[in-house]
Chains A and B, each alone.
Chain A
Amino acid sequence: MNWEILGIWLGALVTLCLYSFLYRDNPFYKFAEHLFVGMSAGYWVIYQIENVLIPNWWQSMVPSEGGFNWIWIIPGIFVLFMLARMVPKIAGLSRLSLGMIIGSGAGLNMVSFFQTNAMAQVKGTIFSVASGSVWSIFSSLVLVVGVVSGLIYFFFSKAHTGVVGKAANVGITILMVAFGASFGYTIMARLSLLIGRCQFMLEDWLPTIPRLLGIGG
């Protein structure tokens, strides 16, 4: 059996099943959709076991050179607490694990978002003020005015009237250009995914049909 061709055919069949949704919802689409969800979940669980739990937890708790590190029981218990969510009587235990996840995430996010997405951006805006050609001075001016007026637009504690209103108007104008750019890129992204699938169907799958029928190469 040619496993490569079988693999291509499996891929093509599920692709066609999913594309049948473009006509309307149908059993082929539903079959592939449910299969995708199940297989993806299976993949995720296996990777958690093989790439996380065994090397990072089990082998830390029971090292190959012998001994037992009891401290690693604690994260194991927290995992069990998380799973307790499935048992209504003890579901409250999952809050302990969630507390650890949320606390760690919040602590790290607080400092890192402030450093990377606030301070570094403010610094970048201030130091963008350029000298040199008229065009680069104009560009840096657009950048600075755009950031400041955009921030004013998002500042809702003061009514958007007078000078604040005018600045907010400039802000929304800049935001519209940015959203337009985002829209253009989004269209591109979605089409790229379609192109990828069409390349697979036309360049990988279609040539296997004459091969299977014994026609041509």
Chain B
Amino acid sequence: MRLIIPLAITFTAGMIMILNFFVPHQPFRFLGENLQEWYLIVASGAIFLGAMNLMHVHFRKIKLKLKNWKYSPVTIIGFLVMLVLGLIYGVTEGRPFNYLFMNMVAPMGATMFSLLAFFVASAAFRAFRASNWRATLLLTSAFLVMLGQVPIGAMIWDKIPLIKVWLMSIPNTAGQRAVMIGAAMGVVSTSLRMIFGVERSWLGGTD
């Protein structure tokens, strides 16, 4: 029973979405639209679950004095400050919640990912080797794209941007499309397996 009900819900929800696609008329239209609206609410539950889990992990770290526990209060305070300011002042532009987002969260998010620039350069220096002709082809393609994407490429040779456009529109499109079609087939088969209850790993076990 503990498996049958979730699997029945999965099957019903999946079939409603499929039938709503092929038969966009009543009663499937009504069922589909309601399911879509409910989905918004239920999916937001996942965010609350994530936030609760984050707090649980950090309170546990403090309680058990696990590695780096001294930083856990920073996460908890950061979370609570945003929560309280958001609840009191709302998300309107110019209010404290938005101020902290624009001046702290946004710079931190941007900086965190910009660190990758250094590591990608270091990794390219250490690992990007023209060890065979296919690797050389990959390297050449990368160089042409890197030069074609910036003004200095056209200054070196005015044909580089044209070569880049061709590379992106033809061989790149062909390669990406082959991957895309293959992945789409994978999505179709996995979706079918989920809807019909063959794929059950998301239930947390194979029983």
Which residue numbers of A lie inside 8 Å of B, CB to CB?
3, 6-8, 10-12, 14-15, 18-19, 21-22, 30-53, 56-57, 60, 74-76, 78-83, 85-86, 92, 94-104, 106-114, 116-118, 121-122, 124-125, 139, 142-147, 149-151, 153-154, 171-188, 190-191, 193-194, 196-197, 200
B47: Cβ under 8 A from any A Cβ: yes
Contact residues in A for B43 (Cβ distance below 8 Å)? 101
Additional pairs, 19, CB under 8 Å, beyond known A15-B108, A42-B78: A7-B99, A14-B104, A15-B111, A22-B115, A38-B54, A38-B77, A48-B48, A50-B86, A52-B40, A98-B6, A99-B7, A99-B8, A101-B43, A104-B39, A106-B10, A107-B16, A121-B181, A178-B176, A181-B141
Asked if B175 contacts A103 (CB within 8 A), the reply is no
Contact residues in A for B117 (Cβ distance below 8 Å)? 190-191, 193-194
Asked if A146 contacts B103 (CB within 8 A), the reply is no
B79: Cβ under 8 A from any A Cβ: yes
Given the complex of chains A and B, what is the CA–CA distance between A81 and B9 in angstroms?
Answer: 14
A6, A19, A78, A181: the one within 8 Å of B167 (CB) = A181
Given the complex of chains A and B, what is the CA–CA distance between A17 and B44 in angstroms?
Answer: 32
The answer to whether A95 and B6 touch (CB under 8 A), given A39-B82, A103-B14, A121-B180, is yes
Going nearest first, the 4 A-B pairs with the smallest beta carbon separation are A150-B178, A146-B174, A42-B82, A178-B175
Minimal Cβ-Cβ distance residue in A for B107? A11
Given the complex of chains A and B, what is the CA–CA distance between A28 and B35 in angstroms?
Answer: 46
Contact residues in B for A75 (Cβ distance below 8 Å)? 37-38, 41-42
Contact residues in B for A19 (Cβ distance below 8 Å)? 111, 115
Give min CB distance, B129 to chain A, whole Å: 13
Contact residues in A for B183 (Cβ distance below 8 Å)? 117
